Amino acid sequence: MDTEASARSVSVEILIDFDENNVLDYSAANQLDARGRAEVREYVQNILRRRSYLDFLIDEFSNVKIVEMKSSLKNILRLGIYDMIFMDSTPDYAAINESVEIAKLKLGSRTGDLTNAIMRNLQRDINNLPKPSFEDRTKLVATTFSHPEWLVKRWTKRFGEREAFQLMQANNQRPNYYIRANNLRTKTKNFRLRMTKHGITFTESDWLPGYFQVDSVAPFISKGWLDKGFCQVQDIAAGFAPFLLHPQPGENIYDLCAAPGTKSILMADLMNAEGSILAVDISSERLDKLAESALSYHAENIRVRRADVTELTLEEADGVLLDAPCTGTGVLSKRADLRWRRDEESLKNAVELQKKLLDSAARMVKKGGRLVYSTCSLEEEENMDQVMNFLDRHENFELQTVEGYVPDEVMVDGGFGYQTFPHKHQCDGHFGVLLKRVN
């Protein structure tokens, strides 16, 4: 197989593993070159973004219902049909032939023939494909926009159908990417010149200094600028929490649930690597990677510690950042898999964990110190509702205004929090507040 065909085959393997084990593991793509690995990620995420709609089409053009199919056949068909409909660069015959070959190799000649029949049935109607037409409105919307029904119900109730549709459409688009210049290794003005010299198209953000919106992160990877620590990939909305904490040179800062560490590195940059940042996470593997990154970025004031934050005792710090584990409903464009891995029980579990983490974080803040709580969720229970419940339990903390730290257009709750939305702000969905410990 050529690189493109190999990328398809590996993508099918990853999608099967996701269906059967609820794990998204890209390690199978390590056998491919850089281009092949990038293609695998594109295939996997785009198919997950459109999974319900692709399954609807399979049911429409197959005599065998999708519920009766093995996971392997489902994902071969999902990939082949995605190729035919959404990949203008792939001729129909190539999408069909590659899918049939993968099916024969994995499942035998009879399944290969079935794959061929289904895809040729669809090809004949490619210019007049059927649209979902279920009587159940929630199922209709969920299938059309490829989101789980529980989330469709929540969002349509909260935002109304029109805005919920806009949000789900944004989640199904290829996401925007931001690159942040790391001033510990270069200067923003020099990095800007470097990109211009190499013909990289970018738009500099006026929201936060040093952030550039780009079409792709591939040039930054291929030129080794990430490995050398000149810049990091970080959505601009993810930068709000560190800027809100406003760490100063010489301060003692804790970053809780810190991995993969991009916020720790940004805070080191803001502190000019002077003072101390303790990055805490429960995963030793992810902390090892964080420590390696800190060296590359010259963030020499970062220390790492493996611990469960809910069981951790530390001396009080000037500032604590808790970017809490959450449902991730604000990042469903970049992490399409999350929409299929979350449910209402996941939301309840996340809220309970966040409560424990916040209570632990509060004990680590000195009098007069700051606590920033942030998530990449859009759900109110994880965000301001969680904060208000925290304030009911902790009378020694007060909400502070976020005005002056984040753009006016993302401020919510009278300026006492920020919330971004993919369909409104063309970035990931993030929430955050600033809390101060008072006497």
Residues involved in catalysis: 376
120 alpha carbon, distance to own chain's centre: 35
Whether 122 contacts 84, CB under 8 Å: yes
Distances (CA, A) of 105 to 66, 73, 100, 216, 290: 20, 11, 9, 34, 40
Strands 317-323 and 365-375: parallel
Residues 6+ apart with CB under 8 A from 341: 22
| Residues 247, 245: Cα–Cα separation, whole Å | 6
Q: 308 among the known binding-site residues?
A: yes
Contact 14, 25 (CB under 8 A): yes
DSSP labels for 140-203?
A: HHHHHHT--HHHHHHHHHHH-HHHHHHHHHHHTSPPPEEEEE-TTTS-HHHHHHHHHHTT--EE
Tokens describing residue 178: 């931001």
Closest to 129 (Cα-Cα) out of 56, 50, 46, 69: 56
Neighbours of 385 (CB within 10 A): 12
CA distance 398 to 323: 18
Which parts are annotated binding residues for S-adenosyl-L-methionine? 281, 308, 323
